[in-house]
């Protein structure tokens, strides 16, 4: 290793970095006085050598602030780490003509010890001077050198103190200019400093919180988790922690905050001195998250639990049954003639009727019972702790009775008829599907027996499965014997057949809808959406044939066909030099059941020479839930590792679960159009969009808003920091042949990329 000898520039830089103040400081003067006394000399000084001059930081017995370098002894002293002794300057040709020697100072004897900051970095000297020639013993030399070290230590301590003052000042400035509450605690957690934001955040002035501990204000339910985290930070297991908990506001309310904290050390490698924490108000985000979680599990019309929550409740009831043998009853409810209310009095009347029914069902439940609306006019009740058929029939009777009073539907008093099918667990069945099927068949028999009645399941033979059953979570109409079900199944079978024929006739094609960057207005890519170019009925959307995506064989066949067409389109666009960005393809849960989905996608891309970095996959949260979910992580990881972007579609409508996002390699999230639709009018929706954007940012994911139809939405989204937008505002899904034209006209007609308009 070669050692660099510091240059004069390095030396001057080192001197500058000490920023020695050019004013007298008593401790330096004291050193000079000590030197005079110790060596019995009339004069002593501390000299700092600049580029062209030397100046005296301290002096004793001399009335001079400094000299030029040419006149100075110290210029010579700083050439080595050794002490420089001139016994008689009048005999030394180097100094004989120096004004210090010839002038009033009358210097004859000089001894200077260099001030050494580091190897080769000599900043000046501590010197003693006499007006007569002298000898200087070895012992005296050593003493002078010791004193020089004291001066050096003073210079360095001055710098450290100044840096500490400066960093304390900038810490304070930072802490006091952010809306987060910044606190510093000692190792016991006692607050030593609290920034003024405490007043807006918690209603306390900083001085009221100093001396308190975070634990004093934390919600009791959150204290344990916080304590655990604190322990991990303290032990060094993690360097920083971020956690959310509730703090008590001075007014007694609870505020949700996000606290990010870590150990504070004066210097790297030193023992920690305490903690620094930043505390941020996240109550609005939390509210939006809670609302999202609620919405994901409740029916918006009646606010009863929806299919998803019902399924979870049913699983819970079954778990209880397994654990301690507590039985329960499942009641399936169906309104009589609901369809005719909808058809004759309109949807609003139908909605009102459903709300009234929901309210009346709620009114007859006991603690622990759960009612849910599964869709349309289908309701279910889980009767907890049901001791036997009498209990369940008692509840059914109360429901029928509650429906007796007519409902006023805008001037039309309407009677409500209700039929109820009952299955008991464990005596009728133990598996959720079987229980539902039994209750369903009992319901069918109740309906057949006339309105306002109920039937118990009676050990009927289980009906055959429908040929094109879906595996959607929740209740499946099990009985092919139920006429409505039969009709639905028939139509599914028909569509299934038609779609197969359409595939064979190459009538299923991708349409492309652009995604636009909110910041620059540039097209970042396209989403491929399935369309059926029907020979007589025009272009059909999945609204007509989407059920086919739920059947594994059909979904795979459609997926394959579309993927190949998309890859072929991308190859053609690439060949034409078209910058189209990324193309996203939707994959349904059913397709994940297929073995080696990742491999087959990568194979197709490779066969068409399409780089994976131009490809994106859109999946909804249902893929993490349905059958085949166990394949999902491996498939997504493999694709993600190969460069394919993974986007979570329809975010906010499913589990809305943050754990999913963390578990899977998700790069993008797409906030569902139902939140974007009313975000200008509905504060809650806007808050949800804002929360998703914030969430995306904190997890390092990009966020796309879909269903953007108006310029106002674009403005709001941009203000919220949403990354991409997609919707009719920019373009409807278009045939592949139109994409090149669209891209060219988009670039040409967008001189100001921020100004969006539809094309
Ligand atoms: P998605 O993935 O959420 O697709 C977005 C849907 O919103 C598309 O409906 C699109 O045409 C529509 N849309 C786009 N912008 C707007 C707008 O500004 N306003 C409104 N009201 N709607 C807009 P589309 O094409 O009917 O597709 C419906 C659903 O069918 C898709 O929802 C997706 O879940 C599924 N789907 C479509 N193509 C495929 C496919 O190739 N494979 C699979 N597995 N599913 C597909
Ligand atoms: Ca999609
Ligand atoms: Ca979507």
DSSP letters spanning 617-630:
EEEEGGGGTSTTGG
CA dihedral 322, 330, 386, 415 (to 10 degrees): 170
pLDDT at 682: 81
Count of C-beta atoms within a 10 Å radius of residue 534: 15
Distance, in Å, from the CA atom of 410 to the CA atom of 397, rounded to the nearest integer, reads 28
Tokens of 259: 């606290």
Distance, in Å, from the CA atom of 15 to the CA atom of 31, rounded to the nearest integer, reads 20
Helix axes 552-575, 483-504, angle to 10 degrees: 30
Alpha helices in 19-117 (DSSP H): 26-39, 74-77, 99-102
Confidence of residue 59 (pLDDT cuts 50, 70, 90): very high
Backbone angles phi, psi at 169, to 5 degrees: -65, -40
pLDDT at 628: 67
pLDDT at 478: 34
Q: Which of 515, 542, 615, 758 for a ligand 1 pocket mutation test, highest count of atoms within 8 Å of Cβ?
A: 542
3-state secondary structure 192-203: EEECCCHHHHHC
- The mean-pLDDT minimum among 152-156, 177-181, 507-511 falls in 177-181
Q: Is 90 exceeded by the pLDDT of residue 505?
A: yes
| Ligand showing the shortest atom-to-Cα distance for residue 539 | 1
Q: Is 90 exceeded by the pLDDT of residue 394?
A: yes
Closest C-alpha to ligand 1, atom 35: 542
Q: Is 50 exceeded by the pLDDT of residue 466?
A: no
Distance, in Å, from the CA atom of 673 to the CA atom of 679, rounded to the nearest integer, reads 10
Distance, in Å, from the CA atom of 371 to the CA atom of 165, rounded to the nearest integer, reads 65
Q: Tell how far the Cα of 581 is from the centroid of ligand 1, in angstroms.
A: 19
Instruction: Answer yes or no: are the C-beta atoms of 725 and 515 closer than 8 Å.
Output: yes
Q: Is 60 exceeded by the pLDDT of residue 517?
A: yes
Ligand 1 surroundings by CB, under 6 angstroms: 513, 529-530, 541-543, 546, 549, 562, 586-588, 618, 649-650, 673, 706-709, 727-728, 733
Q: Is 70 exceeded by the pLDDT of residue 391?
A: yes
Closest C-alpha to ligand 1, atom 45: 586
Q: Tell how far the Cα of 667 is from the centroid of ligand 1, in angstroms.
A: 20
Q: What global pTM score does this model have?
A: 0.50
Closest C-alpha to ligand 1, atom 33: 586
Q: Is 50 exceeded by the pLDDT of residue 115?
A: yes
pLDDT at 642: 96
Alpha helices in 127-268 (DSSP H): 138-177, 198-202, 206-209, 220-235
Instruction: Answer yes or no: are the C-beta atoms of 663 and 307 closer than 8 Å.
Output: no
Can you say whether residue 467 is alpha, beta or left, with left for phi > 0 and alpha for psi between -120 and 50 degrees? Answer: alpha
Q: Tell how far the Cα of 220 is from the centroid of ligand 2, in angstroms.
A: 42
Cα 453 to the center of its chain, rounded Å: 51
Q: Tell how far the Cα of 532 is from the centroid of ligand 1, in angstroms.
A: 13
Distance, in Å, from the CA atom of 368 to the CA atom of 661, rounded to the nearest integer, reads 32
Which ligand 1 atom is nearest residue 549's CA?
Answer: 44
Per-residue pLDDT of 280-322, as tens digits, reads: 888 888 888 788 888 888 988 999 999 889 999 999 999 999 9
Share above pLDDT 70 across residues of the chain, in percent, rounded to a whole number: 91
What is the side-by-side strand order in the sheet with 254-265? 191-194, 181-186, 272-281, 254-265, 240-248
Q: Tell how far the Cα of 515 is from the centroid of ligand 3, in angstroms.
A: 12
Per-residue pLDDT of 328-339, as tens digits, reads: 999 999 988 787
Which ligand 1 atom is nearest residue 672's CA?
Answer: 3
Cα angle: 588, vertex 591, 593; to 5 degrees: 125
Instruction: Answer yes or no: are the C-beta atoms of 258 and 201 closer than 8 Å.
Output: no
Per-residue pLDDT of 530-582, as tens digits, reads: 999 999 889 999 988 888 888 888 999 999 999 999 999 999 999 999 999 99
CA dihedral 565, 568, 572, 575 (to 10 degrees): 160
What is the side-by-side strand order in the sheet with 109-118? 66-68, 53-60, 43-49, 121-130, 109-118, 84-86
Q: CA nearest 395: which of 404, 405, 384?
A: 384
pLDDT at 464: 31
pLDDT at 493: 65
Instruction: Answer yes or no: are the C-beta atoms of 702 and 721 closer than 8 Å.
Output: no
First-last CA distance in the chain: 66
Distance, in Å, from the CA atom of 568 to the CA atom of 556, rounded to the nearest integer, reads 18
Which of residues 467 and 126 earns the better pLDDT score? 126
Instruction: Answer yes or no: are the C-beta atoms of 257 and 282 closer than 8 Å.
Output: yes
**Cα radius of gyration rounded to whole Å, the chain:** 41
Question: What would the mean pLDDT of 623-642 be, rounded to a whole number?
Answer: 83
Distance, in Å, from the CA atom of 244 to the CA atom of 285, rounded to the nearest integer, reads 11
Q: CA nearest 134: which of 259, 268, 43?
A: 43
Backbone angles phi, psi at 675, to 5 degrees: -85, -30
Tokens of 290: 């809670």
Closest C-alpha to ligand 1, atom 6: 707
Enumerate the β-bridge partners of residue 333: 379, 420
- One DSSP character per residue, 20-75 reads --SS--HHHHHHHHHHHHHHT-SEEEEEEE-SSEEEEEEEES---SEEESTT-SHH
Task: State the residue for tokens 């004004």.
Answer: 99
Buried b vs exposed e over 417-433: b needs ≥16 C-beta within 10 Å? bbbbbbbbbeebbeebe
Q: Is 60 exceeded by the pLDDT of residue 479?
A: no
Q: Tell how far the Cα of 726 is from the centroid of ligand 3, in angstroms.
A: 10
Q: Which range is most confident: 372-376, 409-413, 555-559?
A: 555-559
| Ligand showing the shortest atom-to-Cα distance for residue 651 | 3
Count of C-beta atoms within a 10 Å radius of residue 288: 24
Enumerate the β-bridge partners of residue 47: 56, 125
Which ligand 1 atom is nearest residue 620's CA?
Answer: 34
Which ligand 1 atom is nearest residue 733's CA?
Answer: 11
pLDDT at 82: 94
Q: Which of 615, 704, 706, 756 for a ligand 1 pocket mutation test, highest count of atoms within 8 Å of Cβ?
A: 706
pLDDT at 338: 83
Q: CA nearest 511: which of 537, 529, 523?
A: 529
Pairing label, strands 615-620, 645-651: parallel
Which ligand 1 atom is nearest residue 555's CA?
Answer: 44
From residue 432, give the alpha-carbon distance in Å to each of 274, 308, 435, 438, 475: 54, 13, 5, 10, 9
Per-residue pLDDT of 137-152, as tens digits, reads: 999 999 999 999 999 9
Task: Give percent helix, percent strand, percent coil of the chain, each to the nearest 5.
Answer: 45, 25, 35
Distance, in Å, from the CA atom of 498 to the CA atom of 597, rounded to the nearest integer, reads 25
Which ligand 1 atom is nearest residue 708's CA?
Answer: 18
Average of per-residue pLDDT values in the chain: 86
Q: CA nearest 430: which of 333, 334, 326, 332?
A: 326
In the chain, what is the greatest distance between 2 CA atoms, to the nearest angstrom?
A: 134
Cα angle: 297, vertex 646, 523; to 5 degrees: 105
Which ligand 1 atom is nearest residue 541's CA?
Answer: 26
Q: Tell how far the Cα of 691 is from the centroid of ligand 3, in angstroms.
A: 17
């Amino acid at each position: 290793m070669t050692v660099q000898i510091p240059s004069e520039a390095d030396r001057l830089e080192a001197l500058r970095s000490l920023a020695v103040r050019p004013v007298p400081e008593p401790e330096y003067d004291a050193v000079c006085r000590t030197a005079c006394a110790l060596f019995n000399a009339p004069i002593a000084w501390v000299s700092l050598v600049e580029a062209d001059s030397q100046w005296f930081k301290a002096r004793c017995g001399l009335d001079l602030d400094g000299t030029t370098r040419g006149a100075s002894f110290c210029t010579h002293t700083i050439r080595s780490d050794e002490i420089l002794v001139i016994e008689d300057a009048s005999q030394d040709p180097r100094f004989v003509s120096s004004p210090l020697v010839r002038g009033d100072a009358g210097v004859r004897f000089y001894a200077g010890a260099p001030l050494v900051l580091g190897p080769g970095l000599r900043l000046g000297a501590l010197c003693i001077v006499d007006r007569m020639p002298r000898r200087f013993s070895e012992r005296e030399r050593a003493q002078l050198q010791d004193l020089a070290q004291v001066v050096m230590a003073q210079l360095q301590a001055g710098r450290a103190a100044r840096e500490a003052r400066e960093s304390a000042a900038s810490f304070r400035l930072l802490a006091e200019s952010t809306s987060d509450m910044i606190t510093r605690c000692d190792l016991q957690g006692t607050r030593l400093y609290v920034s003024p934001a405490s007043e807006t955040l918690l209603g306390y002035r900083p001085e009221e919180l100093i001396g308190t501990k975070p634990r004093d204000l934390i919600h009791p339910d959150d204290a344990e988790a916080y304590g655990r985290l604190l322990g991990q930070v303290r032990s060094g297991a993690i360097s920083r922690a971020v956690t959310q908990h509730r703090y008590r506001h001075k007014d007694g309310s609870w505020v949700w905050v996000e606290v990010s904290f870590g150990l504070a050390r004066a210097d790297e490698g030193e023992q920690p001195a305490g903690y620094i924490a930043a505390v941020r108000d996240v109550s609005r985000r939390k509210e939006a998250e809670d609302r999202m979680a609620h919405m994901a599990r409740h029916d918006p019309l009646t606010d009863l639990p929806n299919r998803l929550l019902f399924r979870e409740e049913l699983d819970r009831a079954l778990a209880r049954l397994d654990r301690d043998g507590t039985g329960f009853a499942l009641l399936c409810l169906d309104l009589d003639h609901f369809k005719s209310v909808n058809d004759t009095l309109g949807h609003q009347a139908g909605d009102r009727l459903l709300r009234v029914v929901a309210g009346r069902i709620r009114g007859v439940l006991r603690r622990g019972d759960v009612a849910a609306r599964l869709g349309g006019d289908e309701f279910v009740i889980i009767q907890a702790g049901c001791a036997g058929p009498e209990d369940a029939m008692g509840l059914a009777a109360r429901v029928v009775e509650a429906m007796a009073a007519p409902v006023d539907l805008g001037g039309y008093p309407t009677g409500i008829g209700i039929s109820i099918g009952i299955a008991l667990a464990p005596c009728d069945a133990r598996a959720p599907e079987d229980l539902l099927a039994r209750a369903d068949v009992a319901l069918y028999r109740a309906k057949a027996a006339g309105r306002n009645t109920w039937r118990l399941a009676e050990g009927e033979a289980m009906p055959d499965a429908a040929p094109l059953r879906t595996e959607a979570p929740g209740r499946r109409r099990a009985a092919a014997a139920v006429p409505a079900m039969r009709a639905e199944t028939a139509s599914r079978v028909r569509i299934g057949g038609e779609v197969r024929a359409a595939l064979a006739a190459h009538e299923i094609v991708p349409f492309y809808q652009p995604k636009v960057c909110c910041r620059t207005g540039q097209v970042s890519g396209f989403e491929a959406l399935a369309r059926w170019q029907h020979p007589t009925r025009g272009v059909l959307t999945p609204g007509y044939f989407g059920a086919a995506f739920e059947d594994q064989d059909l979904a795979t066949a459609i997926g394959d066909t579309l993927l190949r067409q998309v890859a072929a389109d991308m190859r053609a666009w690439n060949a034409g030099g078209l910058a189209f960005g990324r193309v996203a393809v939707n994959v349904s849960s059913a397709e994940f059941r297929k073995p080696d989905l990742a491999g087959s996608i990568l194979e197709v891309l490779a066969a068409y020479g399409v780089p994976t970095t131009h490809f994106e996959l859109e999946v909804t949260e249902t893929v993490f839930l349905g059958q085949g979910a166990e394949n999902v992580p491996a498939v997504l990881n493999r694709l993600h590792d190969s460069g394919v972007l993974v986007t979570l579609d329809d975010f906010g409508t499913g589990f809305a679960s943050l754990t999913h996002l963390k578990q899977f390699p998700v790069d993008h999230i797409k906030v569902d159009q139902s939140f974007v639709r009313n975000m200008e009018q509905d504060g809650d929706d806007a808050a949800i969009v804002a929360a998703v954007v914030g969430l995306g940012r904190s997890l390092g994911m990009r966020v796309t808003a879909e269903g953007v139809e108006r310029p106002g939405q674009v403005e709001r989204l941009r203000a919220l920091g949403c990354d991409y937008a997609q919707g009719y505002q920019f373009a409807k899904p278009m045939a592949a042949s139109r994409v090149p034209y669209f891209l060219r006209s988009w670039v040409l007609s967008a001189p100001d990329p921020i100004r969006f308009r539809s094309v």
